[in-house]
Amino acid sequence: MGELRNRKLMKLIGLVCACMLLLVGFKESYIMEPVEMGGMVSVAHRGASGYAPENTHAAFRKGLELGADFLEFDLHLSKDGELVIIHDDKVNRTTNGDGFVSDYTLAELKKLDAGSKFHKDFKDERIITLEELFSDFYGQIGLLIEIKKPSKYPGIEEKVAAVLEEYNDLSSVVVQSFDIESMRKMHNLVPELQIALLMKRSAIQLTSKEIEDLTSFATFINFNISYVNKHIIDQIHSFGGKVLVWSAKDVRSINKAYQYGVDGIITDFSIWPLEDVIFIAKE
């Protein structure tokens, strides 16, 4: 009986320790080791945003260091029409500023602290432009560009296309958005570019004809792992498309993605039980 109680106590202590790691992990996870992805493509969400402030040079460097296949990042337009990398349409959450990105010039955005809210060690991180990111990372790692709210920024597709025209090989570049018509436009502007479509929950009801239409111009049809199913993934694959999933932040979600046969996971490299993930990868 005493031995049984001791084993139960050790399991309880282990569970408590795991919970504590999860609670502190967001701010400290940049010191952890990378995880195995079971052969699937790994996309560093807003850079390795579990380790460094999202969408900053530090997060992109960390994603490269951890062996991600792609860096994912978000685009808005500044007041003076510059392509700037930030997720929200306001600067409040990730910087020491206040208000809409579109109300700031690039010079004003560059003055904001984009790192301290994550951790004091990143106080010198700044908002960067699409051109700056390409200058530093093109050719070293795949680049997955998400255009945020393109309808808010008329002409943003042409601006992205103009940047891409400076590079001869776009085989490692993907542009994505929830706005399907914006992505049709990107395909027409840069036919050799890989296009990805971010899908809402209702998209799991897509018909075969709709999937055929979408895969006629998009390489990737991407879903939140919480509501995708194997049937829709198999249908997309049958038309030659690929599927990336996001919000896979625990072993169960990774296992689901792996068993469904997705082509990759968009991840912030959150802390996962590493042994379980590696075990799944070997199955």
Catalytic option among 76, 87, 187, 237: 87
Catalytic option among 45, 57, 76, 187: 45
In the residue annotation, 119 being an active-site residue is answered as no
113: left (phi over 0), alpha (psi -120 to 50) or beta: beta
Q: Where in the sequence numbering do the catalytic residues fall? A: 45, 87
